[in-house]
Amino acid sequence: MSQQVARMVMLVGLFALLFSAGCGKSNSAQPPAADARSHSPRGVAPDDESERKDPTLVAVTLQLNWFPEAEHGGYYAALAHGYYREAGLDVEIVPGGPETPVVQQVSRRAATFGIVNADNILFGRAQQAPIVALMAPLQISPRCLIVHKSSGIRDFDDLRDMTIAMSNSNAFSQYLRYKLDLPGVKIVPYAGNVAQFLIDKDYAQQGYVFSEPFVARKEGGDPKVLMLSELGFNPYTSLLCTHEDQLEDNPHLLQKMVAASIRGWKKYLESPDEANRLIHKANPEMDLDILEYGAETLKPLAVDSVAEQQGIGTMSRARWQKLADQLVESKQLKRKDVDVDGAFTTRFLRTANTANARKSSAKSN
């Protein structure tokens, strides 16, 4: 009898434990944008805890679409060099990973800002997600395929009778399938590393130009890079995005965020070391040498001929429209669902670039 009682007590205790654990989880899923940071253990703060609690700063979260890497460099630079703080923002960068639902998180305001690529925004708008892009740090997409040099493959038309590892859920992979014949090509999901590439000569895989080729070379491979942008598929990458209501409700916040982020990107392209250390801290898998290589490789992608004239982060309607057309063409988006005008705004870019110019000229004087 007493044994039974003891068993009952234990059971009840176990249930209570499970229940409280469940509650804890659901709490952390719901915090409003402003104080989401306190719930996320993985975010990285530039300074110690005491300084973070500055009540005069506006706390916002920035949800990344992948583990912290060089493509997020400018945002980390703005954090590392205190640009966000100077702008009155307490930014917490929340690392992402495979299948992180950034568009959903931003649309339901679980994160104030998010980092996504342009195709995600168009797909989101097509499903009524109220998300809008504010700036495009990478004009040229770093997306590439790597093949073996020894395979003799020169460009995309040479891809035949081989295996290509590409993510299913990515727009570029469906565009590639649509655009190329790929005779005898077997397409398999991307496993997230270059192991298979190194052992199989007839194997190609997706990558970001500053990451996978570097790793493959370091491991003794002979990667040749085929840039997706050269195939014409070139969505803006690492876009800063937010909920569209913020355009009306909080223009000053957006203005500060965009200006500080652009400052961060400029800094990252000049001297990335401090930001890279912060990235390495948030994602120890990324060694400093690969980050250094990444920052160097990013330069021409961030500052192409257009960005050179119009400033870092610039976006054009024509480019957004072209991407939308490509997604429609490759049957990933329906024409009636396309919403290019709602997808982005450049109004914070113009002021940001003039403000930053004023700041830097004031400094040099």
Cα distance between residue 194 and residue 175, in whole Å:
23
In single-letter form, the type of residue at position 55 comes to P
Nearest to 273 by CA among 256, 257, 295: 295
Q: What string marks each residue from 190 to 229 as x (binds other proteins by CB under 8 A) or -?
A: -xx--xx---------------------------------
Rule CB under 8 A: say whether 276 interacts with other proteins: no
Please list every residue from 133 through 192 that binds other proteins, using CB under 8 A: 163, 167-171, 174, 177, 182, 185-189, 191-192
CB of 236 to other proteins, least distance (A): 17
Residues 79-108 touching other proteins, rule: CB under 8 A, are: 99, 103-104, 107-108
CB of 78 to other proteins, least distance (A): 28
Element housing 218 (H / E):
helix 212-218
CB-nearer residue toward other proteins: 66 or 268: 66
The length of the chain is: 365
Cβ 239 vs Cβ 117: under 8 Å:
yes
CB of 165 to other proteins, least distance (A): 8
Contact residues for 11 (Cβ-Cβ < 8 A; gap 6+): none
Nearer to other proteins, 90 or 119 (CB): 119
* Nearest distance from C-beta of residue 99 to other proteins, angstroms: 7
Which of 253, 242, 257, 248 shows the shortest CA–CA distance to 343?
A: 242
Stretch that binds other proteins, among 48-56, 68-76, 123-131, 285-293 (CB under 8 A): 123-131
- Give me the 331-350 binding string for other proteins, x by CB under 8 A, dash otherwise: -xx-----------------
- By CB neighbour count within 10 A (0-12 exposed, 13-18 middle, 19+ buried), where does 71 fall? buried
Tell me whether residue 103 or residue 298 sits nearer to other proteins (CB atom): 103
Angle at 111 between CA 247 and CA 267, to 5 degrees: 80
What is the C-alpha to C-alpha distance for residues 119 and 243, in angstroms, rounded to an integer?
Answer: 16
Chain residues that interact with other proteins, rule: CB under 8 A: 99, 103-104, 107-108, 120, 123-124, 126-130, 163, 167-171, 174, 177, 182, 185-189, 191-192, 195-196, 332-333
